[in-house]
Amino acid sequence: MAEKSVLTPWEVSGDVDYDKLVKEFGTSLISDKIKNKLDKCHPLIRRGLYYSHRDFDKWLEAHEKKKRVSVITGRGPSEKMHLGHLIPFLVAKSLQEEFDCEVFIPISDDEKFYVKPNLSYEDSMKFSYENILDLIALGFKPGKTFIFEDFVYTDIYKYAARIAKRITYSTAKAAFGLVPENNVGWSFYPAMQAAHILFPQFVRGKHISVVPVGIDQDPFIRLTRDVAVYPEFGFDKPAALHSKFFPSLTGGAKMSSSEGIAISLIDTPEEVKKKINKYAFSGGRDTLEEHRKLGGNPDVDVSFQYLKMLFEPDDKKLEKIEADYRSGKLLSGELKQILIDKINVFLKEHQQRREKAKKDIDKFLFKG
């Protein structure tokens, strides 16, 4: 029997029908025409993890007309970061590199504090700090990248309040699936995230921003687009780029640390090796003979999918790995080893930049 599937910004379970979401939400698929307009089309977009959008064509057009454009995407700091959490930020960074635009990164420590029953106020602040180090380590441009925490940059409240006044409880309830048992923080938070998304316009004036984000976050985008055009704001509707979830190691719909086997950004090389070898779902055959004869299936192989999404940007090299795996020339263990080496090279550099980020935090915090 098909598992019941649930998808809200705070809960994902069961199978996710991505095409259906595009229809339900009324978004558009990312076309080749759009991809061709990007000189540095990030593999995450080129190879389809990002698959849907709202008005991204308008964002590109605004840039062509030499108008201001910006990128905004946030992080809910409920835990240390793992590979899956990087997805929106890698795309934000690649847009910044290509278009030299400002990037705004709100850290919703309030959101995670409300939503996670066991997360203390102190821990949510601690995770904010840890996560900010990871974000800075990705290599955003100082002076063009602005990070702020809801609990620290409390000026955000004055924008959130103006938005909150325009959202009825019944709208929030319907859009986010609120239930009576939720604390009232949940019902206010959508105004806060809308304030994040409109923040570039509050502080820089009316212009179009794009929000790279998981498709589960689209209810926030819809709400914010409605609010943006209220006469008292008179803003542009924000655009969005929607991704599918980054698959978990075991092949589940979404990488998650609650399964205990996500690849954390502070994992050691040994931990990475152990996790991939033990848990990464393989599209290989049961025996060596069968694998050599029939070949493996890269479409379901998590190691191959990780290479495709994040770790092998070179199309020729990826094609060769795919062909060799399909033909049975490349074994599952060998494919895993390719991924392990790539992840460990990435993490070694990331962890060095993360250390360095401790001294750079101040350069990235929004000061107003």
Note whether 213 binds ligand TRP by CB under 6 A.
yes
Q: Which is nearer to ligand TRP, 74 or 283 (CB)?
A: 74
When asked if residue 217 is in the footprint of ligand TRP (CB under 6 A), the reply is: yes
Should residue 22 be labelled a site residue for ligand TRP when binding is judged by CB under 6 A?
no
128 or 332: CB nearest ligand TRP: 128
Task: State yes or no: residue 197 binds ligand TRP (CB under 6 A).
Answer: yes
Window 101-130: residues binding ligand TRP (CB under 6 A): 106, 108, 111
The smaller minimum CB distance to ligand TRP, of residues 30 and 223, is found at 223
The answer to whether the CB of 84 falls within 8 A of the CB of 254 is: yes
Q: How far is the CB of 26 from ligand TRP (least distance, A)?
A: 19
CB of 106 to ligand TRP, least distance (A): 5
Q: Least CB distance from residue 224 to ligand TRP, whole Å?
A: 9
C-beta of 216: minimal distance to ligand TRP in Å?
A: 8
From the list 63-71, 73-81, 95-103, 136-144, the region that binds ligand TRP by CB under 6 A is 73-81
Instruction: Say which amino acid occupies 358.
Output: K
Location of structure tokens 């263990």:
333
Q: CA–CA distance from 19 to each of 16, 152, 225, 295 (Å)?
A: 9, 39, 22, 29
φ/ψ (deg, to 5) at 145: -130, 130
Bridge partners, 209 (sequence order):
70
CB of 45 to ligand TRP, least distance (A): 17
Contact positions vs ligand TRP (CB under 6 A): 9, 72-76, 106, 108, 111, 193, 196-197, 211, 213, 217
